[in-house]
Amino acid sequence: MATVWALEILLLKGHAMPLVMIDTVRGSYDETQLRTLLDAVQDAVVEAFDVPSTDRYQILTQHERFELVALDTGLGIDRSEKLVMVRVASKARAEEAKVALYRSLARTLHERVGVEGADLVVSITENGDADWSFGHGEAQFLTGAL
């Protein structure tokens, strides 16, 4: 029973790198800023989810302005062309870790790339062990390889 409990704590704390998808408006950031943005997102995920810094799965997609829409949801949030949407596909995380990620992303992206808080939207989608294959057509979390 202690082994199951320890495994549950590891999964809730982290140790499984999520897939991070980042969407921006084309032309809002230059190549250097985009590379810095990717690094900043990685550092925020590592900090908040306590995952190895050497695990990194990111997809950056740039859209035309009309292809990326984020209204204020009635909160009075005015967004600019600098909008950054971060989507995270991840194994289950503790609520505290998710909130820590939101704060870390906001702080890190503002400090390194100048992204204002109003221009950051984050969404986390949880999945399980059977929802991942890291290559070779295998489910490494199910086989015990990870």
User: Which among 14, 16, 18, 141 is annotated as catalytic?
Assistant: 18
SS3 content of the chain, % helix, strand, coil (to 5): 45, 20, 35
Query: What SS3 state is found at 87?
Result: strand
Distance of CA 139 to the CA centre of its chain: 21
Q: Which residues of 56-95 are buried (b: 16+ CB within 10 A; e: fewer)?
A: eebeeeeeeeeebeeeeeeeeeebeebbbbbbbbbbebee
Q: Is 52 among the catalytic positions?
A: no
Give Cβ neighbours of residue 38 (< 8 Å, ≥ 6 apart).
22, 58, 60
Residues with active-site annotation: 18
